[in-house]
A and B are shown apart, each in its own frame.
Chain A
Amino acid sequence: MNKETIKATAWGLSVALVVAALILAGSRNLSHFDAALVGYTFAVLFAAFAITYRYAMWLQRPPTAIYWKRGWQVFFRPRHLALNIVNWFKRVTSEFVLNAFIFRRGRARGGAHSLIMWGCVIATAITFPLTFGWIHFETLPGDLTWYRAYVFGFPAFSFPLESWMAFLIFHGLVWASFLVIAGVMLAMRRRMRDHGAVALQQFGEDFLPLILLFAVSITGLMLTASYTWMKGYAYDFLAILHAITVIFTLLWLPFGKFFHIFQRPAQLGVSFYKDVGAREELALCRRCGQAFTSRLHVEDLIQVEKQLGYKYEMEDGHYQWICPRCRRAMLVLAQGRLWEGPSSTDATEAGVSSVMPQSSFGNPQTDFGPLGEEDRTNFHP
């Protein structure tokens, strides 16, 4: 095993052990632990190990490592900490709570994602604490019509059994499954009708997660239907079927599309990195002299490229200091040079500025040239 694997394994085992310890503590030494849920518990422990292992391996890739380090550094810079905290709340609300950027990609896509996400968030918030014994319910002493909820063994709140509150709480997973099923249907519809999606989608990456979410939701609903309207018909079989779907989903979390749940928060670190880049010194293109990104970003990329084994060093500096627009111009000029031979005079010899002229967009409209403001900076005006 190499150093990275040992480190990731150690992190994975540590996190799995912490979860196991929390299960013991939260269930008061397993006194509130439901033995029927032991399969789920071991699946969760495996998922905790595997997700942490993959996350730790991911963080050790050169580009991820540098963003991870810089993201925290720029967030905790004392001068901007207060503003960063305010922005953190704003961005979490807009990007994660409201999924604003996914709605901008497409309303159907945004709707599907929000439904699935909130269904899963609700279901996770209910099942994990119940499975671990972190939450349990007891009737009030001397009053069988009232329930009291205990969180980590501490009494939290009480409610009458025959109430809307009880109905909503005890059917929490039903409401979650409604959201997930609706979201899965929307996502499946898009995957079957959108030509672009059809060309690119893969079974393991794109369909399997949807199938698993649907299977978990529908088998969960069958359990409710069985005990509510069918006097428990086939309940044992359905309970095992539901357990299989949930356990398979938990085991699949680290491997496929579900892993984006854990990767996606990196988006926040990136936004703070970009904030700092915009406030500080800019990188000027060594060919056209225009600013195109932050100096910090260029220097970090040079470091990453070296770590990855790329050799973009030129006689006069590093290729990373050339802006993307000049790279495109240089590509066609290099081809022209082969057809016509090198220019008889270069810019310096011709007595003009040593900075080469900028190329200009054939069509500068958004979506035909740059795709937005950041692209306008990348490719500069």
Chain B
Amino acid sequence: MLNVHQLTVAYEATPVFKDLSVAFAPGKITGIIGPNGAGKSTLIKAMLGLIKSSGTVNYNKQPLLTHRKQIAYVEQRKDLDLTFPISVFDVVLTGTYPHLRVLQSPGKLQRQQAHAALQQVNLAEFAQRQIGNLSGGQLQRVFVARAIVQNADVIILDEPFVGIDMHSEAAIMAILQQWRQAGKTIIVIHHDLNKVSQYFDDLVILNHGIVAAGPTAEVYTQANISQAFSSDLSQVLFTEEAQ
């Protein structure tokens, strides 16, 4: 179990959220939804120690950050340097770096792992391509392949389905389901409300704090969406579903 307890993040004295507590269960795909600027990415970055925060984040009753190598984080790709001289294969291979020592180069075993992961996301034929020569969906699958190689217990993806084709979305969803089967803790920040019920076992609705959290069937309600987003949006979404 991944427990966030009384987490507070503040930029310039105004808190993004205060005393936020939430839990993520193993063997579940948990979605995090909320309007723009609600603090979704901020929550994840605070949990990962990438930004300053106060509060505790425990994984199986020990601080999450003492288990750094057991976390795979697929961040949003907007800041990525697509001209960097690195191949698809080498990007996936970096997933083995957390388990290598300084001075140790990736060997045969690591190369096999990277190759297998690329096959799992159907990109084996693109292994030697420079990463700028891929579509958005292919690129996202490369980073999911890297997460496969990391073989982590906690996997966090920040808006993995933004700007990608349906084929890639389905391929990534299939990998998430395999991870669920393996009992991993999977957290997905999600932007598209339409597929929430279809994709997520558990749901966290965020808007500068927790609006609601729990099994998707219980949490994904017109009242909660209305509170976090707007009543107009919730009406459109839930009226359509009723019809």
Q: Are A and B bound to each other?
A: no
Task: Using CB atoms and an 8 Å cutoff, list the residues of chain A in contact with chain B.
Answer: none
